Structure 1
Amino acid sequence: MIKNFIVLLSANTIGQAIPFFIYPLLTRLYSPDDFGLLALYMSIFTVLSIFSNGRYEYAIILPASGDDAKSLLLLTQIINISTSLLFLGFFISMPLHIAALIGNIAIARHLWILPFSLLFFSLNSALMQYATRDKQFTSISYSEVSRSAVTSAFKLLLGFTLLNEAGLILGTLAGHICGALVILFTLFKLTGRLKLNLQWGKIKKIAVQYYAFPTFYLVNALTNVISGTLPVFVLTRWFSLTAAGLYSLGMGLVFTPVSLFSNSLSRILTKEITDKYNLQQPLTGALKKMLGFLLVSGTLPFMLVILFSPHIFRILFGNEWTEAGYYLQYLSPWLFMLYLTSPFNFIPNLLSKQRKAMIIDLVYLLLRVVSLAIGIYFNNIYLALLLYSFTGFLILGYSLVWYFFLVRKHDIVMRHVEQIL
């Protein structure tokens, strides 16, 4: 487990170091408005990506049979291609109407790019789950590093042209394409086992077997993503595109490393816990050890962010970006709890508790809408971000306690079964 985690963490560290070191250049090539438009593009992208694979990619790791896993992989790409074509027709036919609905006309000329981003991102996501199942963590690391490097290089090079915000968006697309192609190539090269047979009867059977993923889990994920992207939509429509850009820079520098670090842990932990679950072994010990590691590794960095982020932003990115540091101070409590909770998000899926997880996320979304609405009512962006962060801290804290309750209950039941046998 430790070796695999180090492989993924090293890749993610390199992947994050690349954009971190070019951010001081990007903030001088692009304006806060440019970053705001990228944030709006990525928010739309993130919401739509929930539908691209039907959430079946998260089932790939679960079957004991390798053929079932390959059928799930094929199923995800049938859905991916279909939804990408649907979105392409939708965005080409009515870009101005969609942009007006969102509240920013400038995004209209970039909407046609979204389906291509979705296509390659979703392919990459499904292949990463397959690689995790097959313990091909080297493939994942190659994909992460190459995606980050290509994204950063394109953003930087296009920043010297007259493309403005289009440079940021096209750089993101280039990264998605590269990440998908690299993991596809390395899986073929390292394993030589990615041979897929299109059997419609098998695919239909497997789709029905894992129906919970496009039903409960999709709704769960959609509410979670809408909850996470709400600030960008709210800041763009009711405050300013500049505010959205400042918010996105702060979040990009902290949320993305937190997310990638947590995802590295989650991939390893998911495999370990799933194996223990299939072997009917206790789960609580491994989860406690992981939580202890997260607490020790995360407390000091987040304290530094809370205390010094405005000064850091002013020094690294210039005076016009100082405000992003203040935004980050308000958001840090939520981000810290997100750091602690994210690696355990697979627990409800493993223990078939998707329904309650969906209810929790619906409550989470409702509370965040109320939080941001209060900020809009008082025309106070700081109040909006503070309440948004506070509700996130509370709900994620409750979720973390619930995850451990589920695992502890599972272990107790397993002990009783062993005693009976």
Structure 2
Amino acid sequence: MINIVRSKIHSSNAMLKSVMILMSGTAFSHIIFISTLPIITRLYTPDDFKVLAIYSAILSIVSVLVCLRFEVAVPLPKYDSHACILVVLSLISTVIINILIFLSLFIFQDNLKSFFNDSLVNYFWLIPIGGVFIGFFNAFQYWNTRKKDFLIISKTRVIQTSFSSILQIIYGLISPASIGLIIGYIIRISFGFFITGRKFFKENWYNLKRINKIKLIVIFRKYKKFPKYSVLEGLFNSSSIQIPVLLIAFYSAGPEVGFLMLASQLLSAPMSLIGQSVAQAYLSEARNEYQRNNLTEFTHKIIIILLKSSVIPLFLGFILFPYLIPIFLGDEWSRVGVMMSWMVPWFFMQFITSPISMSLHVTNNQSTALLLQIFGFLFRNGMVIIAGCFLSEFIFEIYAVTGFIFYSIYLFVVLRVLGKS
């Protein structure tokens, strides 16, 4: 796998080094996660994972909103002083929006109980806490991407996963309950902001002291397309993935959605070993490639890397997952293996498309990205609702097929846009 990366991006030593550093951190974090998962699945029940699945679906939607997508713009400015202001705007937005979320949950808690059961609503106070953590983490993470400080990104992933797994196991041994999984999940996706944030403030104290209200307004207006278009794009993208999870939880009896979450985590873990690493490195290089009028060719090289690194492993997984998962996780988790086989085509297309989707922002095509996500939201949620009403026994299978169709269309549009830019 590493040889494929080396052979295809030999012309860019910086890109190669970035990918290798990110891959190492991702690999270690996934090894920790996967090696501890058989213990965790034997400490917690599928119903505990159902609660975690619903919480993580809601938090995933919230995480797109909290920074108003200013964090996505952090790698783009020419000057670090402007990028610092974007980080500050992200942090301010995170605090304000999570306060509003907390107030909304408090005011409408009785209404929420009519849709979710009481035991689940009792955990909703963790949503704004998780929202603050993930908002801060994303803001500092994009700053590190801008500075190409991939070593700290890599270290942070390992630290987060280690603390998360240890906490979930200890909590499961003492008093197994959904809250142990939820707190561990928050740590795994965001706890590293303490490390990256400290580094950001230490290195940029001079620029931060010079920020005033006027500068905040100027940068806000300059990058207003991100909250204007990219927030909606991100919300539609996240909602097209996460709202079906909530709908499946609503229409399906038992812990079906808990199985779905575990299948998604297991399938995405090895794939993001390259995909997530390439995506961050791609974003750090895409601006320069676009300025050199070389973004299309650069993107094609990235697609080839992703194709060659995924076809054979996913094909083998498609065949073997239903047999291996019950042995790995326990017999009561056999449904997870069947789900993973169904999800292979969807995750294959997502693996190819997601890293290069940021090219729409680099080329200033945020409106196109927004339209694509609106289509995905309507298409995927619409099909799940229809399945829930008329074919509830096949609701997951239909959800998986819609994922493959959507990302196939997305890839086609991205390549067309790059061809014209």
1:344 aligned onto 2:391: no
Q: Is the 8 A contact 2:289 2:298 kept in 1?
A: no
Instruction: Give every structure 1 segment of 4 or more consecutive aligned residues whose post-TM-superposition deviation is greater than 4 Å.
Output: 186-189, 191-195
Of 163-172 and 202-211, the range deviating more from structure 2: 163-172
Q: Is the 8 A contact 1:333 1:393 kept in 2?
A: yes
Counterpart in the other structure of 1:15: 29
Shift, 1:135, TM fit: 1.1
Q: Is the 8 A contact 1:331 1:385 kept in 2?
A: no
1:159 aligned onto 2:172: yes
> Taking structure 1 as reference, are residues 150 and 96 closer, same or farther at Cα in structure 2, changes over 3 Å only?
farther
**Residue 129 (structure 2) aligned to one of 97, 110, 116:** 116
Q: Is the 8 A contact 2:244 2:381 kept in 1?
A: no
Counterpart Cα distance in 1 of 2:269 and 2:106: 30
Counterpart Cα distance in 1 of 2:201 and 2:376: 41
The residue identity in structure 1 corresponding to 2:109 is: P
1:129 aligned onto 2:129: no
Aligned Cα RMSD in Å? 1.8
Q: Is the 8 A contact 1:217 1:358 kept in 2?
A: yes
1:62 aligned onto 2:76: yes
Counterpart Cα distance in 1 of 2:266 and 2:57: 16
Counterpart in the other structure of 2:411: 400
Equivalent residue runs for 1:358-377 within 5 Å? 358-377=370-389
Counterpart in the other structure of 2:40: 26
Shift, 1:148, TM fit: 1.0
Counterpart in the other structure of 1:254: 267
* Equivalent pairs, count: 406
Q: Secondary structure at the match of 1:293?
A: helix
TM-score w.r.t. length of structure 1: 0.92
Counterpart Cα distance in 1 of 2:189 and 2:240: 23
Q: Is the 8 A contact 1:348 1:403 kept in 2?
A: yes
> Taking structure 1 as reference, are residues 32 and 302 closer, same or farther at Cα in structure 2, changes over 3 Å only?
same
1:111-142 deviation per Cα after TM superposition (whole angstroms, max 9, x unaligned)? 11111111111111111111111111111112
Counterpart in the other structure of 2:101: 87
**Residue 275 (structure 1) aligned to one of 288, 294, 299:** 288
Counterpart in the other structure of 1:41: 55
Counterpart Cα distance in 2 of 1:67 and 1:385: 47
**Residue 409 (structure 1) aligned to one of 394, 398, 420:** 420
5+ residue gaps, structure 2: 1-14
Q: Is the 8 A contact 1:95 1:109 kept in 2?
A: no
Q: Secondary structure at the match of 1:62?
A: coil
Shift, 1:99, TM fit: 3.7
Task: Identify which of structures 1 and 2 has the higher relative contact order when contacts are C-alpha pairs closer than 8 Å and 6+ apart.
Answer: 2
1:324 aligned onto 2:359: no
Shift, 1:374, TM fit: 3.1
The residue identity in structure 2 corresponding to 1:408 is: G
Shift, 1:93, TM fit: 4.2
Counterpart Cα distance in 2 of 1:301 and 1:19: 19
Counterpart in the other structure of 1:315: 327
The residue identity in structure 1 corresponding to 2:387 is: G
Q: Secondary structure at the match of 2:102?
A: helix
1:264-322 deviation per Cα after TM superposition (whole angstroms, max 9, x unaligned)? 111111121211223x3322221111111111110111112211111111101111100
Q: Secondary structure at the match of 1:61?
A: coil
The residue identity in structure 2 corresponding to 1:340 is: I
Shift, 1:404, TM fit: 2.1
> Taking structure 1 as reference, are residues 163 and 387 closer, same or farther at Cα in structure 2, changes over 3 Å only?
closer
Counterpart Cα distance in 2 of 1:27 and 1:194: 48
Of 91-100 and 340-349, the range deviating more from structure 2: 91-100
The residue identity in structure 1 corresponding to 2:34 is: F
Q: Is the 8 A contact 2:26 2:273 kept in 1?
A: yes
Shift, 1:180, TM fit: 0.8
